[in-house]
DNA sequence: ACTGCTCGTCAAGGAGTCGTTAAGGCTTTT
DNA sequence: AAAAGCCTTAACGACTCCTTGACGAGCAGT
């Protein structure tokens, strides 16, 4: 991240001025707007990395501005407000705001929250979970809940599928016995590790070429199991 | 997102209880920890979607817990604290926290901030690859529980992994023998320092280029061990 | 140089965990 | 009502890994 752009939306000039000074001193590029419509326009034009938004705007309600932004952008929004009421905070946060700071605020705190917001959004991520997982000889469709081995469809029972699904959704990762038992059988079965042995054996018999020397459904003794592609 | 998991870290039972009740009533899965070390372990095991963390913990400073989590995870962290000082907030947020709520807090507000945090992370969230600790020749994936040396996967046993994990989570810092024994083997093994010699030797044989002249798994005579990057 | 301590290394035994199979009994389907 | 399918449970052999003891090296103090 080179230089983050902050869009400041407030109708009180002295607040805008204070923020502009402090933010540019910290190396942020600062864009300002005095009302809601101008804010939405400015956001579309400048694509800010974070928005600081006062709720008390002359033309639009603050939550409308949030909704207007959220319609097309996931930019972090930090709400400023004179009102510290809980209902107000809840509404703003549920409308899509990321943080809520009550006026009067400490500049240090606002800057820290700003840093936190920018840091978060700069961690980009693509969706890692694919609908269908392939391993060369086995294919698992997580949505249709169908499993094929060498092209032929394999029938799995509910429990078998529960185990396999959890392992495949975490393929490559180790899944602890406790987690498997908790998620598939329920919290009261956390110690019934015997079930896992039975069901892993069944899954291996159905999916592995050599069930006695599994390539996908791997046991990590004492810890859990993992699905390898 | 089907059912979000929340890790609640607080040493005050009534707060943990209140949160557990309110959160599970809203359909969250709730996992709790009453101190920092338990929190770090629980986070590794259950991979929560969001962490609610009290700063006043008995064993570790809250910011250390944040740092310990941020070493390998990008899970949203909401900090709870009795102190409303600005410096405290700034420190926590800069350490990697995502939000800061002052006690006493309104449950509505906390829930709203929680929703905001989960919403955010489910958008930018899991990119499939985990945070990995790298040293040039060794790479350690703390989530998948996988270790590679020069690209080749190395198999570790449960106990070997327990020792390595604790050292890597505190990389750069000295970990005392007692702490290692307590966390990996249990409180009654605090004086069985022999185990450490055996297991450190095994780990070095598996991970170090020259096991007799280790570069990562360093012995601090009379005190403990340290993992150097 | 000798003694006492801590650390590193190796190997063997034994405890605990895992894989496998099959049968009983419950639920659901036909 | 019968049949099929599935979960649970038990038993046993096989295997992995934890534990344990013995021995040598390095180091500090006497």
> CB distance B143–A74 less than 8 Å?
no
Residue A127 confidence (pLDDT):
37
- Rounded to whole angstroms, how far apart are CA atoms A82 and A80? 7
Q: Which residues, at least 6 apart from B84, have a Cβ–Cβ distance to it below 8 Å?
A: B102
Q: Could you tell me the pLDDT band of residue A144, with boundaries at 50, 70 and 90?
A: confident
Angle at B32 between CA B226 and CA B91, to 5 degrees: 60
Q: What's A188's DSSP letter?
A: G
Q: Which residue of B has its CA nearest to A120?
A: B98
* Rounded CA separation B62/A191 (Å): 32
What is the average pLDDT across A108-117? 91
A197 touches strand C (CB under 7 A): yes
Q: Which two tokens stand for residue B48?
A: 């929560």
Which chain B residues have a beta carbon less than 8 Å from that of A89?
Answer: 108-109, 112
Dihedral sign of CA atoms B154, B160, B162, B165 in order = negative
Q: A173, B143 in Cβ contact below 8 A? A: yes
pLDDT at residue B34, as a whole number: 93
| % of chain B residues with pLDDT over 70 | 96
Residues above pLDDT 90, as percent of chain B: 65
Position with higher pLDDT, B40 vs B161: B161
Lowest mean pLDDT among A132-141, B40-49, B193-202: B40-49
- Option in A112, A129, A174 nearest B89 (CB): A112
Q: What does the pLDDT average to over A154-175?
A: 95
Q: Higher model confidence: residue B88 or residue A121? A: B88
Nucleic strand C contact set for B 156-215 (CB, < 7 Å): 177, 193-194, 196-198, 200-201, 204-205, 211-212
Asked if the model's pLDDT at residue A130 lies above 60, the reply is: no
The three-state secondary structure class of B4 is coil
Q: Given a cut of 80, is residue A129 above it in pLDDT?
A: no
- Average pLDDT for A184-201: 94
Residue with CA nearest C1' of nucleotide D16: A221
Q: Can you name the residues that pair with B219 across neighbouring β-strands? A: B225
Closest residue, chain B, to A92 (C-alpha): B112
Residue B202 parent element (H or E): helix B193-207
Of A87, A99, A125, the CB nearest to B125: A125
CB A27 within 8 A of CB A114: no
The whole-number average pLDDT for the span A149-156 is 93
In whole angstroms, what is the distance from residue B97 CA to residue B50 CA? Answer: 11
Residue B100 has pLDDT above 50, yes or no: yes
Tell me if A90 and B108 make a contact (CB, 8 A cut-off).
yes
The predicted model gives B158-178 an average pLDDT of 94
**A192 pLDDT more than 60:** yes
Strand, coil or helix: what is B219? strand
Say what the pLDDT of residue B224 is.
95
């Amino acid at each position: 991240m080179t230089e983050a752009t902050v869009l400041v939306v407030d109708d009180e000039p002295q607040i805008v001025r204070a923020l502009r000074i402090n933010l540019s001193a910290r190396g942020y590029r600062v864009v300002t707007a005095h009302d809601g419509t101008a804010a939405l326009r400015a956001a579309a034009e400048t694509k800010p990395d974070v928005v600081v938004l006062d709720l008390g705007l002359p033309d639009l309600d603050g939550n409308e501005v949030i909704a207007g932004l959220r319609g097309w952008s996931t930019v972090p929004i930090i709400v400023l407000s004179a009102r510290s009421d809980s209902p107000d905070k809840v509404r703003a946060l549920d409308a899509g705001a990321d943080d809520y700071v009550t006026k009067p605020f400490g500049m240090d705190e606002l800057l820290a929250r700003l840093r936190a917001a920018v840091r978060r959004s700069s961690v980009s991520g693509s969706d890692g979970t694919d609908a269908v997982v392939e391993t060369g000889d086995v294919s698992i469709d997580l949505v249709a809940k169908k499993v094929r081995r060498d092209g032929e469809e394999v029938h799995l029972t509910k429990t078998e599928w529960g185990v396999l699904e959890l392992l495949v959704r975490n393929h490559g990762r180790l899944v602890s016995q406790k987690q498997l038992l908790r998620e598939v059988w329920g919290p009261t079965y956390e110690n019934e590790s015997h079930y896992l042995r039975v069901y892993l054996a069944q899954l291996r018999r159905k999916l592995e070429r050599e069930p006695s020397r599994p390539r996908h459904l791997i046991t990590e003794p004492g810890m859990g199991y993992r699905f390898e592609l």
